[in-house]
């Protein structure tokens, strides 16, 4: 089993107090805290290796470039990509999805075509596709969910057709916690010759991702949600698509020969990495993945599932508390509402007890409409959270209830 006390010591921020109370950080779906291992790597990089990558012919630049490309290798191994050049550094999940929506869209989407997303998508996996559909006169179609917050697979099979050009679904719902059957989604889509993009923003940090085994065509995730810095993210894409897609942004590094008459482009992955990338962030992401691999992603999943089950049980015992998202297969987020109390008020009062949760729509406005609510309180867990912290959350909720009654 995972030694949570030892792990908590790896995260300096967790020993802080909020309003003189022990900080209970349950907003990991929004962003995760950083272990000392990652902080040390960032410090070391900027203290002794910092220089712009791929450009200078000097000592520091060679070191920085080597670290950056080593980071790409760590990420390739972490997701088990077939080729190193299938790993593109981006700013985050949103940036990765926009890259595909623009570039894949330019090449493969035409008037009358359809893009399939689901009802539980984050705005980042809706709006880029809407912009594409507007540009190309294509149509966005939506896979519905059932009341438990699971995709209705039979509806998905009905929606996919010869006009479908791409399926874009989330691995794990940031609000409901639902783990989608992405392997089955990919199988069905491929049977119809349709590629699939997985939004892995809430998946990669909680469960093993093997892109070759999944056979997904694109997988996007953010560094800051997996214990690394913000401003760095990954787009994994199959070589066959990335090679045939036009550049997303123009600038330095993504070019081969530039002239006013004609410009030719660099090879993968550089074709999609215009300008100075967040190379420090890439190194922090590599360190975070090393940190996770040293603990073991399977151990992390097992621990987090046990914590989720405990939290679900304890929260369900609170009278007047309704959980949104009761799928059979769930990951580390629980959304709830307290009878008669606005979600924002609950969040503010929990904060005063040292408990950090998120309230609102969680960038899921269409999902909120489907659920018939204006928002939820969301507690989202990491492997550094404990059952004692769940108990504090529950006690604090009971106090909020008392105050409002
Ligand atoms: N997709 C999902 C499911 C998310 O939860 C988030 C962020 O919360 C995103 C996409 C966007 O991630 P980022 O803001 O890091 O680009």
Percent above pLDDT 70 for the chain: 100
Structure tokens at 278: 């967040």
The pTM for the full model equals: 0.98
Residue 351 reports pLDDT greater than 80: yes
From 92, 171, 174, mutation site for ligand 1 pocket: most ligand atoms within 8 A of C-beta: 174
Q: Which atom of ligand 1 is nearest to the CA of 92?
A: 16
pLDDT tens for each residue of 199-243: 999 999 999 999 999 999 999 999 999 999 999 999 999 999 999
pLDDT tens for each residue of 289-341: 999 999 999 999 999 999 999 999 999 999 999 999 999 999 999 999 999 99
363 a catalytic residue: yes
Q: Give the count of beta carbons closer than 10 Å to the beta carbon of residue 120.
A: 29
Pick the CATH number of 39-294 from 1.20.1440.230, 1.20.1440.60, 3.30.1180.10, 3.40.640.10: 3.40.640.10
Band the pLDDT of 57: cuts 50, 70, 90.
confident
Q: Would the CB of 174 count as within 6 Å of ligand 1?
A: yes
Residue 157 reports pLDDT greater than 90: yes
**Closest residue to atom 6 of ligand 1, CA basis:** 201
Distance 124 CA to ligand 1 centre (A): 6
Instruction: With beta carbons less than 8 A apart as the criterion, state whether 352 and 275 touch.
Output: no
What does the longest C-alpha to C-alpha distance in the chain come to? 73
Q: What is the mean pLDDT of the chain?
A: 97
Residue 55 reports pLDDT greater than 80: no
pLDDT at position 334, please?
98
Which distant-in-sequence residues (6+ apart) come within 8 Å of 336 by Cβ? 315, 321, 322, 323, 324, 376, 377, 378, 379
Q: Would the CB of 125 count as within 6 Å of ligand 1?
A: yes
The full set of domain ranges for the chain reads: 4-30+297-404, 39-294
- Residue 215 per-residue DSSP state: T
Radius of gyration of the chain (CA): 22
Q: Would the CB of 331 count as within 6 Å of ligand 1?
A: no
Q: Which fold has domain 4-30+297-404?
A: 3.90.1150
Rounded to whole angstroms, the Cα distance separating 79 from 72 reads 11
Distance 92 CA to ligand 1 centre (A): 8
pLDDT at position 1, please?
85
């Amino acid at each position: 089993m995972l030694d949570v006390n030892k792990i908590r010591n790896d995260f300096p921020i967790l020993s802080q107090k909020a309003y003189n109370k022990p900080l209970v950080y349950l907003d990991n779906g929004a962003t995760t805290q950083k272990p000392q291992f990652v902080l040390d790597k960032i410090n070391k990089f900027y203290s002794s290796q910092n220089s712009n990558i791929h450009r200078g012919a000097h000592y520091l630049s060679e070191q920085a470039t080597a670290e950056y490309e080593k980071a790409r290798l760590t990420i390739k191994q972490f997701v088990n990509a077939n080729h190193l050049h299938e790993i593109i550094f981006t700013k985050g999940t949103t940036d990765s999805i926009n890259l595909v929506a623009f570039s894949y869209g330019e090449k493969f989407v035409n008037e009358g075509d359809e893009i399939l997303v689901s009802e539980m998508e984050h705005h980042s996996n809706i709006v880029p596709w809407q912009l594409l559909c507007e540009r190309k006169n294509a149509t966005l179609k939506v896979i519905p969910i059932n009341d438990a917050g699971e995709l209705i697979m039979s509806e998905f099979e009905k929606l996919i057709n010869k006009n479908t050009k791409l399926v874009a679904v989330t691995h794990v719902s940031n609000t409901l916690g639902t783990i989608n059957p992405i392997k089955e989604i990919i199988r069905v889509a491929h049977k119809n010759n349709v590629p699939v993009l997985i939004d892995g923003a809430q998946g990669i940090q909680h469960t093993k991702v093997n892109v070759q085994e999944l056979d997904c065509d694109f997988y996007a995730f953010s560094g800051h949600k997996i214990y690394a810095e913000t401003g760095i993210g990954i787009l994994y894409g199959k070589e066959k698509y990335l090679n045939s897609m036009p550049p997303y942004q123009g600038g330095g590094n993504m070019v081969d020969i530039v002239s006013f008459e004609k410009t030719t482009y660099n090879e993968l992955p550089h074709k999609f990495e215009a300008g100075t990338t967040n190379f420090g962030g890439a190194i922090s992401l590599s360190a975070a993945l090393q940190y996770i691999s040293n603990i073991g992603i399977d151990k992390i999943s097992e621990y987090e599932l046990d914590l989720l089950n405990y939290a679900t049980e304890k929260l369900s015992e609170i009278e007047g508390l309704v959980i949104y998202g009761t799928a059979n297969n769930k990951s580390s987020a629980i959304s709830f509402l307290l009878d008669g109390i606005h979600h924002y008020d609950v969040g503010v009062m929990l904060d005063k007890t040292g408990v950090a949760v998120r309230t609102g729509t969680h960038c899921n406005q269409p999902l909120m409409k489907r659920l018939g609510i204006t928002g939820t309180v969301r507690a989202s867990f990491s492997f550094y959270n404990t059952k004692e912290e769940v108990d504090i959350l529950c006690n604090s909720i009971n106090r909020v209830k008392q105050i409002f009654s």
